[in-house]
């Protein structure tokens, strides 16, 4: 994409976010400042607070200016707008919940949903808990989703949205974080079915799914990001087909081709 096209796209995004998702004039001013700030520094950690409108509901929200990119992925690009029908009051696992934008999307989109939001990185989790921890139906878990119930090393990126457990991930600093195996978590919580599993786990999609074990048969829909350079994509899709989860779509959002990432949705066909 040319620089001009990128600027035009960014401008259209800003207009949509400011007019549709800033809930009041103060919030518009704050978000406008975020766009101005990230133009100079895309990794600006300055924290701001405002009122965020998501699908007609308004939530008090705190984020770093750099988190504007995550906000746009969810609200402007609508990366988690599920194509497959979802039942009323679903159980949702938000893997890689970051600061809670996707969690708010699911809560607003599916009234009565029970959302279990997993985020391992301490600063992200602090903001996640602030933004969604008091919302009825939301459970925040400070842990990665993995294949083993043991602490793991999280590689820290400069931007808060791309920390990764993958050994091939970049990042000079690491932090040790808890890891949860989903099949064990479901058993402990008495969860019979996952209606929607969202994965934004930066190249550990296969590990998260491995941790479901036989409970993969109890998942109706999986959507998220697939990191083609870190995951054997076709082998993972084949594994999902074996348990009845068939591809609904693949697509690339803005900038994803350069990163070797595509968005995906798989779902279980009715019997």
The mean pLDDT value of the chain amounts to 92
Residues 7-51 pLDDT 10s: 788 899 999 999 999 999 999 999 999 999 888 898 999 999 999
Domain chopping of the chain, boundaries: 1-77, 83-268
| pLDDT value at 171 more than 80 | no
The whole-number pLDDT of residue 160 equals 60
The whole-number pLDDT of residue 21 equals 98
Nearest CA among 133, 200, 216, 196 for reference residue 164: 200
Residues 46-103 pLDDT 10s: 999 999 999 999 999 999 999 999 999 999 999 999 999 999 999 999 999 999 999 9
Supply the pTM of this predicted model: 0.93
Q: Where are the alpha helices (DSSP H) in the chain?
A: 3-16, 25-40, 68-75, 101-109, 122-132, 182-189, 205-210, 233-242, 256-259
Fold of 83-268: Rossmann fold (3.40.50)
CB 17 within 8 A of CB 75: yes
CB atoms within 10 A of CB 194: 21
Give 255 or 202, the one with higher predicted confidence: 202
Q: How far apart are CA 113 and CA 131, in angstroms?
A: 17
* Site of tokens 């590990």: 207
Among 38-42, 118-122, 131-135, 136-140, which stretch is predicted with the lowest mean pLDDT? 38-42
Tokens of 44: 């600006």
Longest dimension (CA), the chain: 53
Q: In what order do the strands lie in the sheet with 91-95?
A: 138-141, 114-118, 91-95, 196-199, 221-227, 261-268, 245-251
Q: How far apart are CA 21 and CA 52, in angstroms?
A: 6
Q: How far apart are CA 199 and CA 202, in angstroms?
A: 9
Q: Which residues of 69-83 are buried (b: 16+ CB within 10 A; e: fewer)?
A: bbbbbbbbeebbebe
Q: Which residues contact 45 (CB under 8 A, 6 or more apart)?
A: 64, 65, 66, 160
Q: How far apart are CA 119 and CA 105, in angstroms?
A: 16
Nearest CA among 159, 177, 168 for reference residue 231: 168
Q: Which residues of 113-127 are buried (b: 16+ CB within 10 A; e: fewer)?
A: bbbbbbbbbeebbeb
Q: Which residues contact 6 (CB under 8 A, 6 or more apart)?
A: none
Q: How far apart are CA 130 and CA 269, in angstroms?
A: 37
């Amino acid at each position: 994409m040319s620089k001009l096209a990128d600027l035009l796209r960014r401008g259209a995004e800003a207009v949509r976010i400011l007019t549709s998702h800033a809930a009041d004039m103060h919030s518009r001013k704050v978000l406008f400042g975020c766009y101005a700030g990230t133009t100079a520094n895309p990794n600006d950690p300055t924290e701001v607070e405002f009122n965020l409108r998501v699908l007609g509901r308004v939530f008090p929200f705190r984020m770093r200016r750099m988190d504007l990119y995550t906000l746009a992925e969810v609200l402007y690009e609508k990366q988690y707008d599920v194509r497959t029908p979802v039942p009323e009051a679903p159980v949702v696992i938000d893997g890689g919940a970051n600061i809670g934008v996707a969690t708010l999307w699911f809560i607003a989109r599916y009234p009565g949903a029970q959302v279990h939001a997993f985020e391992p990185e301490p600063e992200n989790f602090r903001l996640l808990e602030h933004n969604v921890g008091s919302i009825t139906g939301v459970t925040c878990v400070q842990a990665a989703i993995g294949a083993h119930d043991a602490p793991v090393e999280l590689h820290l990126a400069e931007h808060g949205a791309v920390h990764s457990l993958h050994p091939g991930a970049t990042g000079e600093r690491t932090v040790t974080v808890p890891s949860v195996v989903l099949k064990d978590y479901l058993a402990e919580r008495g969860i019979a079915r996952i209606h929607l599993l969202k994965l934004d786990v930066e190249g550990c999609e296969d590990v998260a799914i491995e941790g479901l074990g036989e409970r993969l048969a109890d998942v109706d829909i999986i959507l998220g990001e697939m990191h083609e350079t870190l995951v054997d994509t076709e082998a993972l899709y084949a594994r999902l087909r074996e348990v009845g989860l068939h591809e609904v779509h693949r697509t690339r959002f803005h900038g994803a081709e350069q990163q070797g990432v595509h968005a995906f949705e798989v779902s279980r066909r009715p019997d």
